[in-house]
Amino acid sequence: MIAQLVTLALAIVTVIPLDLPDYAAVTPDFLLIAVYHWSLYRPNDLPYSVVFAIALLEDLLTAGPPGLIELTLLLVRWTVLNTRRLFIGRSFPFVWGGFAVTTMIVALADWLLASILAGAMQDPRSVAFRTVLTVAVYPIMTPLFARLQKLNPA
Amino acid sequence: MKSRSGPITHVFAPLRLVPQRLAFPLLILASVLILLVGQFNRPLAVHARVAIADVVAPVLEVIHQPIAAGAHLTRSLRETVALYQENDRLRAENATLMQWQEIAHQLQSENTALRSLAHYQPPATTFFVTAEVVGTAGGAFSRSLLINRGSADGVAEGQAAFSGEGLVGRIVEVGRRASRTLLISDLNSRIPVRIESTHERAILAGDNTSEPQLIYVPSRGGIHVGDRVVTSGDGGIFPPDLPVGIVASTDGDSIRVEPFTALSQIDYLRIADFGLSGVLPPSAAPLPRPAVVKHGHIKAGSRPR
């Protein structure tokens, strides 16, 4: 329940404007962090259906290419579930590295698909910045998730 | 790992796996469907977005309050530090502006005189509404803002959105209490503009960078860095002469325009209805009315000679 509430809250936090230059274009992908984290440690807390529903909400709020966020996050959850054995029990830098690779693949795929849908090459810089920020924010977010998780009854 | 919490999990775990197995392919299918439908049925996507925006906008508005207050506080602290230099700068600027004001007064009276001579009808602005920015696009591939005013406040599709400095974008999706503004930097934004001094016409095309490009420029020679860019009024979306930005660079193929407004740091917008339906709904564009000359003789609809 906590996992679902936190992820839902993050979907809304993503669209809140901050008074920072160009923040909107490089807002960290909070949902990716949440889905990766919970798929790894508590997959039952954040099932596919919930991932889809929250991704759909985010999709409608951000007005990007429809369906892209849903597809991405479902695939991320699936990939994490199928590679969990590699990561469980490993050190944090290893898990973080896994997240970095995932984020880069997602960014590349998103960029390619958005370029195809728009019919023109998209500016890769904001995607690159966004990827770096997302990876950088991961070690700050996950201890928060773990702490919030402790509030979860059973 | 002590993630298992009791015997109940053991009982339900296999049961849970069944819908999970089915859920993944079904939901992937749903996503692909959304992807396709979103591409080929834009109005449906717009409807869905507007419905969600209507529900979420009040929530965002509440969350945004403390953030706006915090931003305001840091800004005022920063400004306090720079107060003396700012004061000096403003005094100098004020002196310059006083001269401009003088010129403006002269021009205005001259303008009024000329207009009365020419029976000029100024473009009527029917209304203005101020809106707070409650959401951003939050992605790398679009530049839009969610605002907390909708059809209930008189906002309609195609209206122009401004900041104090200049044109920011136009309204593309309207809900009852919220709407979306497509920024001039968005990939899909095309604004007919002209260079103010030379009247050279062009299209200002967004490409998701902070400085949109001028395209379809008839001759490059007449455009220099620092030239002011204003709307041309072509196409009837916006009235002419709204300030847009200044030419920032002219290297190689691309001429880039820096908008007067810092598009990524907008708190409030003004939405204006200029009573122009423009090219947006092609069927709704008003036909040119035949001029009715004096009384009798020429009926409305027939061609005056």
Q: CB under 8 Å to B264, separation ≥6 — which residues?
A: A20, A21, A22, A23, A24, A25, B210
Are B169 and B94 found together in one domain? Answer: no
Q: What percentage of chain B exceeds 90 in pLDDT?
A: 16
pLDDT band at B286 (very low <50, low <70, confident <90, very high): very low
In-domain check, residue B121: no
Rg (CA), chain B: 26
Sequential DSSP letters for A10-79: HHHHHHS--SSTTHHHH---HHHHHHHHHHHH-GGGS-HHHHHHHHHHHHHHHTSSTTHHHHHHHHHHHH
In-domain check, residue B14: no
Phi, psi (degrees; rounded to nearest 5) at A87: -105, -30
Q: Which residue, among B128, B142, B166, has the nearest Cα to B257 in the 3D structure?
A: B166
Are B153 and B80 found together in one domain? Answer: no
Are B148 and B215 found together in one domain? Answer: yes
Residues of B in contact with A15 (CB under 8 A): 60, 135-138, 146
Please tell me what DSSP assigns to residue B287: P
Looking only at the bridges linking them, the beta strands covering B228-231 and B213-215 are unpaired
pLDDT score at B272: 85
Q: Which of A15, A78, A154 lies closest to B138 in CB terms?
A: A15
Contact B141 A114 (CB under 8 A): yes
Q: What tokens appear for B128 in the block?
A: 């203005």
pLDDT digits (tens, 9 = 90+) for B247-259: 998 887 789 999 9
For range B191-211, the mean pLDDT: 89
Are B93 and B48 found together in one domain? Answer: yes
pLDDT > 60? residue B304 = no
- Run of H or E residues at A117: helix A92-118
Contact B60 A118 (CB under 8 A): no
Min Cα–Cα distance to chain A from B37, Å: 8
Domain count, chain B: 2
Are B35 and B140 found together in one domain? Answer: no
In-domain check, residue B23: yes
In-domain check, residue B10: no
pLDDT digits (tens, 9 = 90+) for B85-143: 888 889 999 989 988 888 888 888 888 888 877 776 655 566 788 898 888 875 667 78
pLDDT band at B29 (very low <50, low <70, confident <90, very high): very high
Q: What tokens appear for B1 in the block?
A: 């790992």
In-domain check, residue B201: yes
pLDDT score at A76: 95
Cα angle value B199/B200/B203 (rounded, 5°): 120
What is the distance between the alpha carbons of residues B114 and B276, in angstroms, rounded to a whole number?
Answer: 25
A1 touches chain B (CB under 8 A): no
Q: What are the boundaries of each domain within chain A?
A: 2-15+26-147
Are B138 and B275 found together in one domain? Answer: yes
Residues of B in contact with A120 (CB under 8 A): 187, 207
**B259 forms bridges with which residues in the sheet?**
B245
Q: For an interface test with B, which of A35, A38, A62, A85 has the most B Cβ atoms less than 10 Å from its Cβ?
A: A62
Are B89 and B133 found together in one domain? Answer: no
In-domain check, residue B39: yes
Are B92 and B205 found together in one domain? Answer: no
In-domain check, residue B11: no
| AA letter at A139 | P
Are B168 and B256 found together in one domain? Answer: yes
pLDDT score at B4: 45
What is the distance between the alpha carbons of residues A68 and B34, in angstroms, rounded to a whole number?
Answer: 9
What residues make up the domain containing B161?
A: 128-279
pLDDT band at A134 (very low <50, low <70, confident <90, very high): very high
CATH number of the domain bearing residue B251: 2.40.10.340
Contact A25 B264 (CB under 8 A): yes
Instruction: Tally C-beta pairs within 8 A across A and B.
Output: 169
Are B92 and B219 found together in one domain? Answer: no
A48 touches chain B (CB under 8 A): yes
pLDDT band at A104 (very low <50, low <70, confident <90, very high): very high
A145 touches chain B (CB under 8 A): no
In-domain check, residue B159: yes
Are B93 and B147 found together in one domain? Answer: no
pLDDT digits (tens, 9 = 90+) for A51-73: 999 999 998 888 777 888 999 99
